């Protein structure tokens, strides 16, 4: 089956998860990109078709998927839609965040085909206390 559109779904208050999401989708070569930015609002009810790729990228807070991100994804569904799951963390630890995202995806009809963790600059990084500056 040819996948010719990608849903770029992200929660990204300090823009790192957004950058990672965009780079991944860009790398697939898919031209038709449909962004769903849940940083400031909940996603509308949507069923992503099986002919599309879903890429979901969220940050890790306290070793979990950022709770607000989890909440704002809740009306997104698929129909065995191929889905890539990514958690972005600030070089401390991602603990079980990727598993949490996986536990969300499966009952929502999203068929997980890949998962990844990326290090991004920590939101609390400062000149005095740098953490993963400039990453990814
Ligand atoms: C409230 C809060 C909690 C965080 N907890 C963790 C953590 O447990 N482990 C970690 O490695 N990074 C942690 N981070 C860092 C973020 O995961 C990291 O900065 C990420 O790149 C932020 O994504 P964004 O730029 O898309 O908002 C935390 C950041 C915030 C704001």
What is the CATH T-level fold of the domain 5-119, as seen in this structure? Rossmann fold (3.40.50)
Tell me how far the alpha carbon of residue 2 lies from the centroid of ligand 1, in angstroms. Answer: 35
Tell whether the model's pLDDT for residue 46 goes beyond 90.
yes
What value does the mean pLDDT take over residues 121-126?
Answer: 89
Question: How many Cα atoms sit within 13 Å of 58 on the Cβ side?
Answer: 30
Using CA atoms, how far apart are residues 132 and 60, in angstroms rounded to an integer? 14
Task: Evaluate: CB of 67 within 6 angstroms of ligand 1.
Answer: no
Give the C-alpha separation, 70 to 62, whole Å: 14
- Model confidence band, residue 2 (pLDDT cutoffs 50, 70, 90): confident
Res 132: pLDDT? 87
* Coil, strand or helix at 35: strand
Q: How far is the CA of 122 from the centre of ligand 1 (A)?
A: 6
Query: Using a 6 Å cutoff on CB, does residue 37 contact ligand 1?
Result: no
Question: Mean pLDDT across the stretch 72-92?
Answer: 97
Bond preceding residue 136 cis, omega within 30 of 0: yes
Please say whether the beta carbons of 25 and 56 come within 8 A: no
123 C-beta closer than 6 A to ligand 1: yes
Distance in Å, CA 21 to ligand 1 centroid: 16
| Centroid of ligand 1 to alpha carbon of 4 (angstroms) | 32
Cβ neighbours of residue 97 closer than 8 Å, sequence gap 6 or more: 58, 60, 63, 64, 65, 87, 89, 117
Res 34: pLDDT: 98
pLDDT of 1 strictly over 80: no
What pLDDT is attached to residue 30?
97
* Shortest-distance atom of ligand 1 to CA 123: 19
DSSP labels, 37-65: E-SSSPPPPEEE-TTSEEEEEEEEETTEE
For 19-32, the pLDDT digits (tens) are 999 999 999 999 99
Going from N- to C-terminal start, the domains of the chain cover: 5-119
Can you tell me the mean pLDDT for 112-132? 92
92 lines ligand 1 (CB under 6 A): yes
Given a contact cutoff of 8 angstroms between Cβ atoms, the answer to whether 101 and 108 are in contact is no
pLDDT at 10 over 80: yes
> According to the model, what pLDDT value does residue 136 have?
85
Q: How far is CA 6 from the centre of its chain?
A: 13
Q: Which of 98, 56, 97 is nearest to 77 (CA)?
A: 56
């Amino acid at each position: 089956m040819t996948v010719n559109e990608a849903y770029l779904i992200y929660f990204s208050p300090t823009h790192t998860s957004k950058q990672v999401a965009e780079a991944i989708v860009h790398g697939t070569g898919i031209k038709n990109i449909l962004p769903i930015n849940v940083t400031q609002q909940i996603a509308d009810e949507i069923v992503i078709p099986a002919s599309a790729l879903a890429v979901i990228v969220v940050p890790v807070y306290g070793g979990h998927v950022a709770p607000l991100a989890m909440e704002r994804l809740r009306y997104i569904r698929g129909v065995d839609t191929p889905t890539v799951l990514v958690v972005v963390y600030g070089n401390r630890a991602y603990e079980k965040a990727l598993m949490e995202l996986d536990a969300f995806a499966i009952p929502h009809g999203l068929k997980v085909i890949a998962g990844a963790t990326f290090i991004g600059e920590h939101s609390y990084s400062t000149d005095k206390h740098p953490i993963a500056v400039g990453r990814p």
